[in-house]
């Protein structure tokens, strides 16, 4: 499927932007240089008539992206949270993409529910409303369970959405391959791997059974997070194309006027959403990766309610520590340590000069920290950091893509709630607390205890493992190089000694 025929898809993308009037708006929003503007207009204008017309009643950007398909809509949803990057006009237009897209017929939704659950709608629900929200992949209906009389939200996938998304992703794969072919220097960024990662995320979003499981896990991990609510999932009324959750009443997170009228503290809400994200990402390694305004509400009690768990992110403990050290290094302006972390983690090739890299990082950080609160931006930091790491040969870390993207989105959400928010002051206590608990002597001791516990499970096998290692060392050792075998034995014994010490420490602490 990823053949040259996708050229047609890419041509039609430019043509649609031109035909709907979105091309100039997008170029202006990103402050595109004159040369890029000329290339974009010259290549798109002759094919303007091939572009999708879209809905003339929609603003240009929204009209273009909705006409192009769900993957483009997803991209627009991310940009809608960043008025500091794309300007207020474009961000306002794109916000419609979050949950105000044209719905599909309720009759189709009911037919899908009956097919997936194996029961009639009337047998399961005493009430089933018209759509209350419609997004790029699914729409939501308010209903009432017949058995318990509880109000619920029923999420149903759009008709043929799987095929539509496959077509968009297919074109993205082709574009990535084209970029790698035309510009060999771009290969270090792994464009195809980035699209593959995005593809995997989207495929998970198209199976609502996975979303239901994610919602359950997320609720369990965040149960102690004060001021944060995850609605309960009804697993027995969920399937691949249908998911049922507890109904969560609240104000849309993007409806600033309504939030003000209700008397909520927008500054506190903006700070809380940013800190909650950081705590969940760093402490749990599991976070909501689609945290835009359309997926958040504010309850009457002032709690933040999250929903739509189709895209969740995971990062392993080592990567969390690396990310935390990079963040705290920038916050404390310890650019040498930030450089060291990049080298220790293997993000930057070992043959590069660490002092030059630290100096380059200072050039990134100092201008940002000289800005006032409204100008300081994680988006700007990541953009500048990208330029520096490119110069030093850092390759794209696909495991960090979702984390970084979500960080930018959450920052945009926080700024929508409180434009004067100082993201570094808000982030500092969370990151410092994580550093205190997970990096240092206490964390080292905990790691050793964990290692001892793992070795303890293999305790009965340790004598045989040691004997096998000694036999292999003796067998593989060459007469001219006897020390190699000895070194391997010494290494194994040293490791065993560390394990014994750790086990003793664990015994004393427990």
Residue positions annotated with a catalytic role: 290
Show the 3-state SS of 21-85.
CHHHHHHHHCCCCHHHHHHHHHHHHHHHHHCCCCCCCCCHHHHHHHHHCHHHHHHHHHHCCCHHH
219: tokens are 């609720």
473: tokens are 């060392």
For CA atoms 66, 68, 71, 77, the dihedral sign is: negative
Compute the half-sphere exposure of residue 14: CA atoms within 13 Å on the CB side of its CA. Answer: 16
The two counts, helices (H) then strands (E), for the chain are: 23, 11
Compute the half-sphere exposure of residue 267: CA atoms within 13 Å on the CB side of its CA. Answer: 4
* Distance in angstroms (rounded) separating the CA atoms of residues 139 and 141: 7
Cβ–Cβ under 8 Å, residues 194 and 176: yes
Cβ–Cβ under 8 Å, residues 327 and 431: yes
398: tokens are 């696909």
| E strands present in 214-311 | 228-229, 233-234, 242-246, 251-252, 286-288, 296-298, 304-306
Query: CB atoms < 10 A from the CB of 451, how many?
Result: 16
499: tokens are 């394990």
* Distance in angstroms (rounded) separating the CA atoms of residues 46 and 42: 7
The alpha carbon of residue 360 and the mean position of all alpha carbons in its chain are separated, in whole angstroms, by: 27
Burial of 375 (0-12, 13-18, 19+ CB in 10 A): exposed
* Distance in angstroms (rounded) separating the CA atoms of residues 27 and 81: 18
Show the 3-state SS of 76-95.
HHHHCCCHHHHCHHHHHHHH
* Distance in angstroms (rounded) separating the CA atoms of residues 338 and 350: 15
Query: CB atoms < 10 A from the CB of 489, how many?
Result: 17
Please measure the distance between the N-terminal and C-terminal CA atoms of the chain and give it in whole angstroms.
58
């Amino acid at each position: 499927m990823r053949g040259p025929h996708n050229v047609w898809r890419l041509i039609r993308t430019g043509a649609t932007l031109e035909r709907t009037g979105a091309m100039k708006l997008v170029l202006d929003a990103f402050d595109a240089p004159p040369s890029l503007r000329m290339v974009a207009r010259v290549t798109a204008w002759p094919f303007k008539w091939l572009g999708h017309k879209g809905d003339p009643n929609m603003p240009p950007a929204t009209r273009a992206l909705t006409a192009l398909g769900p993957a483009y809509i997803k991209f627009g949803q991310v940009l809608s949270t960043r008025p500091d990057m794309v300007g207020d006009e474009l961000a306002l237009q794109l916000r419609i993409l979050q949950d105000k897209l044209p719905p599909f017929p309720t009759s189709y939704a009911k037919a899908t529910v009956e097919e997936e659950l194996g029961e009639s709608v009337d047998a399961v629900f005493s009430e089933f409303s018209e759509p209350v929200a419609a997004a790029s992949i699914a729409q939501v209906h308010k209903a009432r369970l017949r058995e318990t009389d509880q109000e619920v939200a029923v999420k149903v996938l759009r008709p043929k959405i799987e095929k539509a998304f496959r077509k968009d992703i297919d074109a993205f794969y082709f574009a990535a391959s084209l970029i790698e072919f035309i510009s060999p220097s771009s290969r270090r960024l792994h464009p195809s791997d980035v699209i593959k990662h995005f593809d995997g995320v989207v495929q998970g979003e198209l199976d609502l059974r996975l979303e239901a499981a994610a919602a359950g896990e997320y609720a369990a991990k965040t149960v102690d997070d004060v001021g944060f609510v995850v609605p309960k999932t009804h697993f027995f009324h969920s399937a691949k194309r249908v998911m049922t959750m507890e109904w969560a009443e609240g104000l849309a997170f993007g409806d600033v006027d309504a939030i003000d009228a209700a008397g909520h503290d927008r500054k506190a809400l903006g700070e809380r959403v940013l800190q909650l994200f950081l705590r969940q990402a760093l402490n749990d390694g599991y976070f909501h990766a689609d945290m835009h305004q359309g997926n958040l509400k504010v309850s009457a009690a002032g709690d933040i309610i999250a929903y739509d768990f189709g895209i969740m992110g995971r990062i392993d403990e080592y990567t969390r520590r690396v990310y935390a050290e990079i963040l705290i290094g920038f916050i404390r302006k310890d650019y040498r340590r930030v450089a060291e972390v990049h080298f220790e983690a293997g993000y930057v090739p070992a043959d590069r000069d660490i002092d030059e890299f630290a100096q380059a990082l200072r050039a990134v950080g100092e201008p940002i920290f000289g800005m006032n609160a409204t100008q300081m931006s994680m988006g700007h930091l990541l953009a500048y950091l990208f330029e520096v790491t490119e110069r030093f040969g850092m390759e794209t870390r696909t495991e960090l893509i979702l984390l970084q993207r979500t960080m930018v989105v959450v920052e945009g959400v926080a700024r929508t709630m409180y434009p004067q928010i100082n993201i570094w002051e808000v982030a500092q206590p969370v990151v410092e607390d994580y550093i205190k608990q997970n990096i240092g002597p206490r964390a080292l001791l905990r790691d050793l205890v964990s290692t001892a516990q793992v070795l303890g499970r293999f305790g009965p096998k340790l004598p045989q493992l040691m004997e096998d290692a000694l036999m292999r060392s003796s067998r593989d050792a060459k007469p001219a190089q006897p020390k190699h075998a000895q070194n391997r034995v010494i290494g194994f014994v040293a490791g065993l000694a560390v394990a014994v010490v750790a086990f003793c420490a664990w015994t004393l602490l427990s």
